[in-house]
Chains A and B, each alone.
Chain A
């Protein structure tokens, strides 16, 4: 149990945390926000602190004369040091809590469980409207975690999402030009 005194102390500690301000181009901020949304529940602070921790680890390794390389899982050397990054490890999981596969004639994206909304459509709408995950959750009555999971999935499947959007676009354009649309069986 956490005492009230300790809670107040923790609150004061938090209040005293210094703020970090940086000058950066818009695209850096946009990328940082994407990273925060994908791996750190939208927290830019956590993303920044984690990024600096990784850089520090990298610098320490290099200063010690060690190599920092990437190898396939089946080619790992006998001894190595590997950084574990909270947020990233969770994001790397392939089991989804809020997303499901669904049988559909042409859509291969994952869907929000219990809803007729694909992960890609939700993520694209957020991109178009510049919505935060919390805003998107409010707009569609979803859990924020469901939105975050959809964004994470969409980030890894941009090609599939684009292809399925293109399929829709072709169907709509065919309607404009009066090409025959074959009814569903």
Chain B
């Protein structure tokens, strides 16, 4: 799967784990607006992975035929929140179940942990 990690998810560890699992990861733009990040992902035909459901869901809703949006949300308890390793594993599960293309789809990653 080809992915764009929103900036607060774009740690070296997650990027490395995803690359090691065979995913393509577009370099994250730093300091840009959510709309600009979303636009860059659409231009490059990659799936956006974000923790910011509130801002990216409307962007996806407003973009017909978008390349896919994966949302991770915080559970309100750090002990229950998804760790980076779980996020990487869950993205693998998404690919196994839904295939490499998420065109027009919104996936809540917490449901794949």
For the complex, what is the distance from the CA of A166 to the CA of B81, rounded to whole Å? 13
For the complex, what is the distance from the CA of A114 to the CA of B32, rounded to whole Å? 9
Q: Let me know if A172 is at the binding interface, CB within 8 A.
A: yes
Once A and B bind, how many residue pairs between them come within 8 Å at the CB atom?
Answer: 92
Q: Of the listed stretches A12-20, A75-83, A175-183, name the one at the interface; the rest are far from the partner chain.
A: A175-183
* Pairwise interchain contact A175-B76, C-beta atoms closer than 8 A: no
Q: Let me know if A106 is at the binding interface, CB within 8 A.
A: yes
For the complex, what is the distance from the CA of A184 to the CA of B54, rounded to whole Å? 10
For the complex, what is the distance from the CA of A44 to the CA of B76, rounded to whole Å? 28
What 1/0 flags go to B75-95 for Cβ under 8 Å of A? 110100111100000000000
- Among A116, A121, A140, A175, point to the contact of B108 (Cβ < 8 A): A175
Q: Which of A138, A165, A168 has the most CB of B within 10 A?
A: A168
B13 → chain A closest CB, angstroms? 6
* Pairwise interchain contact B58-A182, C-beta atoms closer than 8 A: yes
* Pairwise interchain contact B59-A184, C-beta atoms closer than 8 A: yes
* Pairwise interchain contact A175-B106, C-beta atoms closer than 8 A: yes
B residues near A162, Cβ cutoff 8 Å = 76
Assess A181 versus B7: contact at CB under 8 Å? Given A124-B78, A172-B108.
no
- Among A127, A168, A184, point to the contact of B52 (Cβ < 8 A): A168
Q: Let me know if B42 is at the binding interface, CB within 8 A.
A: no
* Pairwise interchain contact A121-B54, C-beta atoms closer than 8 A: no
A31 → chain B closest CB, angstroms? 15
Which residues from chain B sit less than 8 Å from chain A, CB to CB? Answer: 6-8, 10-13, 30-35, 37, 51-55, 57-59, 61-62, 71, 73-76, 78, 81-84, 106, 108, 110-111
